[in-house]
Amino acid sequence: LVQHPFTKAVGFTGSFEGGKALFDLANQRAVPIPVFAEMGSVNPVFILPQKLENDTATIAAMYAKSISQSVGQFCTNPGILVGIKSGALEEFKTFLGNEIKNTAPERMLHPGIAKNFQEKRKAALQKGAKVIATNDVGVNADESIPTLAQATAEQFLLNTVLHKEVFGPYSLLVECRDATQLLQVAEALEGQLTCTLMATEEEAKHNEALLDVLKEKCGRFVFNGVPTGVEVALSMHHGGPYPATTDSRFTAVGADGIKRFTRPVSFQGWSNELLPDELKNENPLQLWRTVNNVLTKNPIEFE
């Protein structure tokens, strides 16, 4: 289908490998076409110390639900949590770990997804991630293994395998020594669908460098929330820099998503009678149109 001459654009949601293969095929055509591929994203969450100290249990409960919702099979699942070593972070690990332990394994959408989840999870654990909490009792081959893992910032920065998406109910807690190391972790990340900042207003004001880095890494920047809710609205942007997608300018959710499959054509010098109905002066289709920089349904009248 991608190579068929009648195909003019491609939309895709799935793995990085699948999306990149389609992108490459489309660009090998005699006439290349755009591929709007939504691929992998770990949707990192940066949790600043004061916010965590103020709301430890609340944040843990919020993220336990977000990690495990629909067996973790959301492209916006929070796959990486980043915090600074502290007593509050230890308490957060305990709260979140207990929630994960109480999350039952569930059947994933199909055996291929379950197999991929288990392989990616195993690869991360072999590269320095350490299990904090899991529930692997009586897990069948097609089921998830709810997991909270941990790595130091040093391990994370040295092992790019830990940066990769594990599609399912898995999240990696990256523990940093200080704010400088937290920023280094942010800078090491690739393009994402979402980034999230959990912080007080004052913390946000005093961490401009972190905010500047994160907003360049994602298509949607969440403040004190979870990334898993994707509202279908004009203000929603569901996309992000490569490798989250192959084209960060367009959204896959909301009314503007249709723009991926349109091509502008300008008509110059044509009589009103010969113009398409969409462009006729009298506006017979009663469409909203921008005329002289004004959005209107009114007909175009000449004095």
Asked if residue 53 lies in contact with residue 203, where contact means CB atoms within 8 angstroms, the answer is: no
Residue 228 inside a domain? The answer is: no
Encoded tokens for 94: 């305990």
Residues 35 and 55 in one domain: no
Phi, psi of 99 (to 5 degrees): -65, -40
Residue carrying structure tokens 């990769």: 164
61 pLDDT above the threshold of 80: yes
Helix axes 56-68, 87-101, angle to 10 degrees: 40
* Helix (H) and strand (E) counts in the chain: 9, 11
Query: Among 202, 223, 244, which residue terminates a domain?
Result: 223
Shared domain check, 260 and 185:
no
End residue of a domain, out of 223, 250, 277: 223
Question: Are both 12 and 145 inside the same structural domain?
Answer: no
Q: Note whether residue 67 is domain-resident.
A: yes
Dist CA 218 CA 291 (whole Å): 34
58 domain-assigned: yes
Of the candidates 273, 221, 254, the one whose C-alpha atom is nearest the C-alpha of residue 44 is 221
Q: What is the CATH number of the domain that holds 183?
A: 3.40.309.10
Give me the catalytic one of 38, 106, 143, 165.
38
Whether 101 and 239 map to the same domain: the answer is no
19 & 66 share domain? no
Residue 75 has what pLDDT?
92
The answer to whether 218 is a known catalytic residue is no
202 within domain boundaries:
yes
Which residues are within 8 A (CB) of 214 and not within 5 positions of it... i.e. 6 or more apart?
44, 46, 186, 195, 197, 221
> In the listed set 193, 223, 253, which residue is the last one of a domain according to the structure?
223
* Domains held by the chain: number: 3
Say whether both 63 and 162 belong to one domain: yes
What is the predicted pLDDT for the residue at 229? 84
Average pLDDT over residues 84-106: 96
How far is Cα of residue 218 from the mean position of the Cα atoms in its chain? 7
Catalytic residue (one of 75, 176, 195, 218): 75
Domain assignment of residue 298, given as a range = 268-303
Question: Can you give the pLDDT at residue 105?
Answer: 92
Q: Are residues 284 and 210 in the same domain?
A: no
Q: Of the candidates 4, 152, 138, 171, which has an alpha carbon nearest to the alpha carbon of residue 84?
A: 152
192 and 127, same domain (yes or no): yes
CB 182 within 8 A of CB 176: yes
- In a shared domain, residues 15 and 77: no
pLDDT digits (tens, 9 = 90+) for 164-219: 999 999 999 999 999 999 999 999 999 999 999 999 999 999 999 999 999 999 99
Same domain, yes or no: 211 and 285: no
Q: Answer yes or no: do 174 and 198 share one domain.
A: yes
> Considering the domain boundaries, does residue 34 fall inside one?
yes
In a domain, 78, yes or no: yes
* Shared domain check, 83 and 31: no
* Sequence-ordered list of residues with C-beta below 8 angstroms from that of 258, at least 6 positions apart, any chain: none
202 is catalytic: no
Mean pLDDT of the chain: 96
Residues of the chain with pLDDT > 70, as a percent, come to: 100
Phi, psi torsion values for 10, nearest 5 degrees: -130, 135
Contact 3, 27 (CB under 8 A): no
Q: How far is CA 66 from CA 77, 173, 201, 217, in A?
A: 7, 14, 23, 21
Q: Are 244 and 219 in contact (CB under 8 A)?
A: yes
Which of 206, 184, 225 shows the shortest CA–CA distance to 78?
225
Rounded Cα distance, 208 and 196, in Å: 14
pLDDT tops 90 at residue 136 = no
74 within a domain of the structure (yes/no): yes
pLDDT of residue 303: 72
Q: For the whole model, what pTM was predicted?
A: 0.92
Give tens-digit pLDDT for 227-264: 998 989 999 999 999 999 999 999 999 999 999 999 99
Q: How far apart are CA 73 and CA 31, in angstroms?
A: 35
User: Which amino acid is it at 156?
Assistant: F
